[in-house]
């Protein structure tokens, strides 16, 4: 696979996403990996609605991005498992 230089802004955002994921590890773990597409999509749409609230916080946008990541990884992973690394988030 071609080496890709990751922009600092993407790394910064990915770290924010990982922080939220890690906070939910004990309760939810990687349960998203086995969720049907339509369930993830429904949860994604709920998160989008939460961004429209007057008191919406930046965390809501991170949640939206997390559901995008989950949907993308579940889709790519089902069709091209070799595209996703076997390392877990703990093997940094």
The C-alpha atoms of residue 10 and residue 50 are separated, in whole angstroms, by 23
Give the model's confidence band at 88: pLDDT under 50 very low, under 70 low, under 90 confident, else very high.
very low
Q: Give me the pLDDT at residue 92, please.
A: 35
**Extents of the domains making up the chain:** 8-82
Contacts of 33 (CB under 8 A, 6+ apart): 70, 73, 74, 77
Which regions of the chain does DSSP assign to beta strands (E)? none
Long-range CB contacts (< 8 A, 24+ apart) of 41-49? 41/71, 43/67, 44/68, 44/71
- What digits encode the pLDDT tens for the residues 22-55? 999 999 988 999 999 999 999 999 999 999 999 8
């Amino acid at each position: 696979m071609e080496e890709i230089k990751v922009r600092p802004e993407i790394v910064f955002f990915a770290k924010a996403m990982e922080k939220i994921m890690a906070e939910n590890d004990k309760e939810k773990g990687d349960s998203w990996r086995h969720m049907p597409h339509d369930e993830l999509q429904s949860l994604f749409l709920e998160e989008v609605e939460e961004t429209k609230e007057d008191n919406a916080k930046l965390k809501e946008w991170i949640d939206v991005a997390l559901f995008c990541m989950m949907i993308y990884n579940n889709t790519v992973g089902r069709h091209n498992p070799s595209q996703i690394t076997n390392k877990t988030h703990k093997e940094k």
